[in-house]
Amino acid sequence: MADHTTQVNPKRPVEGRPRTRGQGQEGGMQGPRDWQGGALEGLFATLRTSAAGLTHLEARERLVHCGPNELTFHRARSKILMLLDEFRALFPLLLTAAAVLSFIANGLSPGQGYDLIGGALLGVVVLNALVSFYQNYKVEKLMVAFLDFIPKSVNVLRETQTDAIDARALVPGDVLLVQEGDKISADGVVIEASQLLVDESVLTGESLPAQKIACKGTIGEGSLVYSGAMVVKGGASIVVTHTGRASRIGQISEISQDVTADPTPMQKELKDFIRKITWLAMTIGLVFFAVGFAIGNAFWTNLVFAIGIIVANVPEGLLPTVTLALTQASVRMGKRNAVIKDILSVETLGSTTVICADKTGTLTRNQLHVEKLYLDFGDIEAEAHQQFRANRAAQTALEIMSLCNETVVSRQEDGSSHLSGDPTEVSMAAFADALGGYEAIRERFTLQHTRAFDPETRFMTTTHLTGGGTLYLTAKGASEVIVERCHSVHSEGLVRPLRPEEKARILDKATQYSGQGLRVLALAYRIVDRAEQEPDQLVFVGLTAFVDPPRSEVPAAVASCKTAGIRIIVMSGDQAETVVYIARRLGIVSQPHVVTGEDIESMSHDQLIQVLREKEVVFARIAPEQKLNIVDALKSMGEVVAMTGDGVNDAPALKRADIGVAMGMKGTDVAKEASDIILLDDNFATIVSAIEQGRAVYDNIRKFISYILTSNIPEILPFVAYVLFPIPLPITVVQILAIDLITDILPAIGLGNEPPEADIMQRPPRRRNERLVSYRTFLRSYGIVGPVEALLSFLVFFYVLAAGGWVYGERLATGSILYAQAAGAFLVTIIFCQVGNVLACRTSRQSAIPYLRRMNGWILAGVIFEILFCIAIINVPVLQPFFTAAPVGIEIWIAFLCAPAAIFFLEELRKLLVRRGATLLAA
């Protein structure tokens, strides 16, 4: 947003007090419409300017008063603040609290390793913050590189001279000069124009460019232009009325700045999980604090062990694993041309239930295309080239399309040709080029005269000299205008009189095409005596129908969305017929309820919700605020909404949606800033691919949470048993850290990188009330697999002690070889159990046995690392004292090797029971 809002305003003189926000607004926006209906002389008088422009002194004074003509869509964030933000999330705060408790426990009972836990926890928090910061910083640099919306330099009239100035120095009252290819850099009123055609799709959603005319007296809509629009043909002089954030684009960006985004589903789920794990840890810690009192332990002893149990419940490895899984998914999406601005957005896509798709530039190419032709009283699809060539009027139609056309052909560095000009003419030139060669046709004729298209007469003509010396007049224009001037028709290879009923038939066909949302032009010609001759008594050749065509990849993407249970709602500022035509072509709807902006204005929030409950609905001619209303209504219905768009008019809704998806190639800076994801290829199909990745990420995060939580039980129960019974402590603090931060990490990352399951896009979206970590997840980890891991570890632990001569109740020195053997065996048994656990966690309900043949590289590396780690700590002398381990007999290694199979087949039994209806056991 700009730093100044003061503008020259019709309600006060230039030197007056600053305008307050909202003054003179229409529909929540400020722009040249404030002047609509007024006189041009009044505009000049109020702005204290003229068609000759301002003086340099006046311009400098107004620049001080009104502020620079700039919009700051994205404020660069401080790197320090970005890094500090990474420490404010709930999970880092939980780990930091656990670290503080660990340091307290170390102060109460030094030498037990609690200082190592505290340091490791802080290290995890810092490492995670750095990884997340690096990902966000890359996106931040990309966003800053994106933002170049307002042109650097513009041409203005100053003291009757044309000056090139910095666009930021443009002020109200300036006379701005634009030509083909320029981006208009301020709102204003056209005072001189030459065939001016302006693309306003980024503001209005209209797929067709708007014809603009010079104001001759009363200011009308046809003379108003807006900042951000593109000149596609012609040139103009424009008196500037609003600059910076007082422009229409500035007002829309201000709306998007005021919109607040809700927490993502993943943020809500992680918050829910942290709450659960915190209460669980606190409850277990307090229970055993009380039990310690009951059996007569000292207060400080009980406190230290309660802290130990609480800290052991905190899954230290979960935070970096979640961050890495989301970051890696972001990287994978980046390779598919989807830039993820916030890694939590990855999972949100997987939760999407509704996609609100902007039509122009998202579902369509934002490029006109010849769709149909009507030649010799018959319909021809533009893509049916063979049928077209077989028609006897085809060659004449191609000649008119090529000759009555001002499209410019330029050669690119790679040798290819580029067509530029009026989008309608460019589409005809491209069609002619594909069938007969646009330039080849034009080279056979010599231009003699051109009558440019006039919005009042609504037709264009050119006269060319043929090789035989004949003057050949070609015409194109509105169907009713051209048909009225036709006396003959090109039919069956002959020219014959055009009968009244045939005229009516042609006009009916034109009306039919228009009703389908197509733009229609009629083609005609005549052999004339003079180059400037009036286009009367023409020969009718045919009708050409145009449309902004759907992207070729979109139908398959739409079909995937339907299979996945995702609803698509088309929203556009374009006319209703065009929106319906495109939505039907793509298979989104068949017989939709069409709702316009005027309809929404008269609806209450509840009425809008009722409309949205209908199975098929499309929205046309809607304003930016109305897109926002639609998104709000869908969210109040419990939907997870993804909003796609590329225009300024999409920005508020993009920000309000659960996930905003902006187009990177043709998208405006306002849209990119308001979005969560940017599609670099503007490909709607990329969204579907991203949804698939999002669903996979959610599934995978559930898998590795279940995997990581499982080892908590064999880590906690040894402390409980040590407090309750006269036995050596089976596991040390360092060994807990070895599991959580060394051996569990690689397999967990592997689960986070599992490819999407084959049926992932054939399932309906997950329910909004479905928890990432449910009570069933805790039941599996804490009630089934975790206790079995603990049981196996205790069995091996006591077997080693018994084999070494230890008897129940005997005190065992922590520095003895027997204790190192038993504690090391306890640790290695847990690690080997986790090998079976990670292999089992690759599926939730289906058998994981087939997956053993399709090993995930990360998981395979993790399993190999776990085995090598166990061999190393037991057999390498330098590692033995640190990890409290020592060599054991072959029979113990056999027990180790049996542990993974026991856990894996236990899980297979549980899944089998789930598939047979035991839903209580479902994870």
Structure tokens at 623: 């304003």
From the list 608, 637, 679, 643, the residue with the least C-alpha distance to 256 is 643
Residue 618 makes CB contacts below 8 A (sequence gap 6+) with 569, 570, 571, 572, 576, 579, 580, 583, 588, 589, 592, 593, 594, 595
- 187, 342, 358, 744: the active-site residue: 358
How many angstroms separate the CA atoms of 42 and 217, rounded?
10
Residue 578 makes CB contacts below 8 A (sequence gap 6+) with 207, 359, 517, 518, 547, 548, 572, 620
Position 427, amino acid: S
Strands of the sheet with 659-663, listed across from one edge: 338-340, 677-679, 659-663, 641-645, 354-358, 567-571, 617-620, 593-596
Q: Which residues pair with 140 in a beta bridge?
A: none
* 518 close to 502: Cβ distance less than 8 angstroms: no
Burial class (CB in 10 A: 0-12, 13-18, 19+), 288: buried
Is 681 an annotated catalytic residue? no
768 DSSP 8-state letter: T
* Cβ neighbour number for residue 407 with a 10 Å cutoff: 23
Q: What is the DSSP pairing of strand 369-375 with strand 659-663?
A: unpaired
Structure tokens at 327: 């970051």
Position 115, amino acid: D
How many angstroms separate the CA atoms of 714 and 729, rounded?
12
CA distances from 172 to 253, 472, 693 (A): 20, 48, 49
Rg of the chain taking only CA atoms, in angstroms: 36
Residue 469 makes CB contacts below 8 A (sequence gap 6+) with none
Contacts 24+ apart (CB under 8 A), 211-216: 211/455, 212/236, 213/455, 214/190, 215/40, 215/189, 215/190, 215/191, 216/40
Structure tokens at 196: 């001016």
Q: Which residues are catalytic?
A: 358
